[in-house]
Amino acid sequence: MSNNIKELLEQRLDKDNLKKLTAINNIKMHKFIADAIEFTRPASVFVCNDSDEDLLYIRNRAIESGEEKALAIDGHTCHFDGFYDQARDKANTKYLLAKGKDLGASLNSTDKEEGTKEVLGFLKDSMVGREMLVCFFCLGPANSEFSIACVQITDSPYVAHSECLLYRPGYEQFKSIGDSPDFFRFLHSEGELEALVSKNIEKRRVYIDLDENIVYSANTQYGGNTIGLKKLALRLAINKASREGWLAEHMFVMGVHGPKDRVTYFTGAFPSACGKTSTSMLPGQTIVGDDIAYLRKKGGEIRCVNVESGIFGIIRDVNADDDPVIYEALTNPGEIIFGNVLVTDDGKPHWLGMGCELPTEGTNYSGKWHKGKTDDKGNEISPSHKNARYTVRISDLSNRDENLNNPEGVPLGAIIYGGRDSDTLVPVEQAFDWTEGIVGKGAMLESETTAATLGAEGVRTFNIMSNMDFVSLPLGRYIQNNLDFAQGVDRPPLIFSVNYFLRDKDGKYLNGMLDKLVWVLWAELRVHGDVDAIETPTGLIPGYEDLAELFKRELNEDFTKENYAEQFAIRVPKLLAKIDRIEEIYKTKVPDTPQVVYDVFKTQRTRLNAAKEKLGEYISPFDL
């Protein structure tokens, strides 16, 4: 260790914490911490070595600091983010780009020198009078080809506590990498607080340095902006994966349980708040992860892991009928953090769609709340926020998959891409092959915006592979990486699109919450060639009889021919308009679009026009 670093750490850490830190022999990590101490000037530094004692210390700090309040049920706490800090801030999340580097017009970036100066300006002296927490985590299972060691510095015990639930411990992993410089670094300060929430929201920044594998986050508390290992690390990982020939995706990983105890692993990419977690939690199936997956090729197959060990899930509409496993966990003792829900004086959390009448007063993200309370624009404040969340360990859930921590990952049988689409795509469709799947399903994905990011809701937006907010390389390169990924794979996974959000002409949803179980189980049968399918201009859809059987057996519902005809109608004008819209985006914004993308648009257009000639604009699946 260089003398300066050593001296500084010796001066600023007490004996115990110094011992914990120096037990990891990594100069680059020591320097990162020494620099951060010098820069943010905390009153004290705590180093977490993942012992039960240290984990308890962090949890207690979250409560003592007031960032979390203990609730009535043992192990439950609640945290509030500021009124204007309830979602990911896309506008202020930027890549720091050195002169001459370009990620393309679709990605938000800023000049590296200026941006670094700006964010460091906000972080300077930010921890004066506060405690700095230094935690180590591992992305992916420990001791595996997938593992990435990470160090998180934060002054928010809520952020540190959340990460202790959401990520695998990394202190030992860090020791095992020795002096390797190959790890991710996160520096977060919530900045000045007022009534326990970040005060200077106009100075909220999340700046990403891809060359250094560092993310800086300032003046914010909301998890998506602060929890380094979540979306901040995903942005770093996508870039790293591109350099190393694997994929980092915004995907769940689940075990789909087919006939005779057969388990087929699926990943699913959905934009935030579009049914990703609820798909991975479907009854009778097992969960590996609900948000982020790493995929690698090994021995002729694709294997994948959950990067995380917990769920930071949307709590809205979690109730005993629709999400029984999560509901059970949220209503029983266990370590859970509720975020931005409504809390009543008896210490009980309440949220939208929990399946009962909500109280008319309590405490929420606006402070003391009563029904009818309005914000400064006169809009009524909802009892709990639409993007209110819960944080829980997957190992505490009854439906955890037995391969949750398998260092080899699980073999991938199928990928599903889903978005919020009221009028175009059928509920489920298999792509003809890998290329049409990556282009026609993943790279054409659109979704209506939700409360998971700041800004207007319900606006149809291009969202490539559901990963648009996190892609950290030129989009054409990203598509090419996905296309190339199937090379050398003996049986590439099947690719499907799903759409849970179709509506009729009166705006009513055409599907029930659990219908997705049928789509997923049908896809599982397709992976094994157990059912036939009907060809459409854009892929393969289920036959009526097969769906009717699954609806009866799984949901005890009669799926009528009318339901089928309405949901699975091929809406040719809508599909053609979608191709036009997406093609325009690639032509104008993505100069490095691979030619094959345009080729797929062309063949799909030709097939759609031919079908229109023969069968009309809105084609019943019974006519195919």
Residues contributing to the site for Mn ion (CB under 5 A): 272, 291
Strand partners, 154: 133, 188
**Closer Cβ to ligand SPV, 93 or 405, answer by number:** 93
- Interacting residues with ligand SPV between 123 and 162 (CB under 6 A): none
DSSP-assigned states of every residue in 276-313: HHHHHT-TT-EEEESS-EEEEEETTEEEEEES-SEEEE
**Closer Cβ to Mn ion, 268 or 427, answer by number:** 268
**Closer Cβ to ligand SPV, 224 or 413, answer by number:** 224
339 scored as a contact of ligand SPV (CB under 6 A): no
Q: Strands across the sheet with 389-393, in order? A: 69-70, 76-79, 336-339, 389-393, 310-314
Residue 47 and residue 330 in contact, taking contact as beta carbons nearer than 8 Å:
no
Residue 427 and residue 559 in contact, taking contact as beta carbons nearer than 8 Å:
no
**Closer Cβ to Mn ion, 187 or 311, answer by number:** 311
Count, residues in the chain: 624
Q: Candidates 222-230, 332-340, 578-586, 598-606: pick the segment binding ligand SPV (CB under 6 A).
A: 222-230
272 scored as a contact of ligand SPV (CB under 6 A): yes
Helices 3-12 and 27-40: crossing angle in degrees, nearest 10, is: 60
Residue 255 and residue 288 in contact, taking contact as beta carbons nearer than 8 Å:
yes
163 scored as a contact of ligand SPV (CB under 6 A): no
270 scored as a contact of ligand SPV (CB under 6 A): no
240 scored as a contact of ligand SPV (CB under 6 A): no
Question: Which two three-digit tokens encode residue 79?
Answer: 């945290």
Within a 13 Å sphere around the CA of 535, how many CA atoms are in the beta-carbon half? Answer: 7
Q: How far is the CB of 88 from Mn ion (least distance, A)?
A: 9
Write the binding mask 83 to 112 for ligand SPV: x where contact by CB under 6 A, - elsewhere: -----x------------------------
Q: How far is the CB of 233 from ligand SPV (least distance, A)?
A: 11
**Closer Cβ to Mn ion, 197 or 314, answer by number:** 314
Cβ burial 518-544 (10 Å sphere, 16+ → b, else e): bbbbbbbbbbeeebebbebbbbbbbbb
296 scored as a contact of ligand SPV (CB under 6 A): no
Q: Which residue number is nearest to Mn ion in terms of Cβ?
A: 291
Residue 146 and residue 140 in contact, taking contact as beta carbons nearer than 8 Å:
yes
Binding residue for ligand SPV, selected from 207, 312, 417, 496, defined by CB under 6 A: 312
Q: Which residue number is nearest to ligand SPV in terms of Cβ?
A: 224
230 scored as a contact of ligand SPV (CB under 6 A): yes
Strand partners, 457: none
Residues in contact with ligand SPV, total (CB under 6 A)? 9
223 scored as a contact of ligand SPV (CB under 6 A): yes
Which listed option, ligand SPV, Mn ion, none, makes contact with residue 88 (CB within 5 to 8 Å by class)? ligand SPV
Binding residue for ligand SPV, selected from 82, 140, 169, 224, defined by CB under 6 A: 224
Q: Catalytic positions, please?
A: 274
Which listed option, ligand SPV, Mn ion, none, makes contact with residue 296 (CB within 5 to 8 Å by class)? none
**Closer Cβ to Mn ion, 500 or 564, answer by number:** 500
Cα 119 to Cα 93, 96, 102, 468: the distances in Å are 11, 10, 20, 23
Cα 238 to Cα 112, 386, 473: the distances in Å are 19, 28, 8
Which listed option, ligand SPV, Mn ion, none, makes contact with residue 230 (CB within 5 to 8 Å by class)? ligand SPV
Which listed option, Mn ion, ligand SPV, none, makes contact with residue 312 (CB within 5 to 8 Å by class)? ligand SPV
**Closer Cβ to ligand SPV, 269 or 483, answer by number:** 269
Residue 343 and residue 365 in contact, taking contact as beta carbons nearer than 8 Å:
no
452 scored as a contact of ligand SPV (CB under 6 A): yes
CA 558, 564, 568 angle in degrees (round to 5)? 150
Binding site for ligand SPV (CB under 6 A): 88, 223-224, 230-231, 272, 291, 312, 452
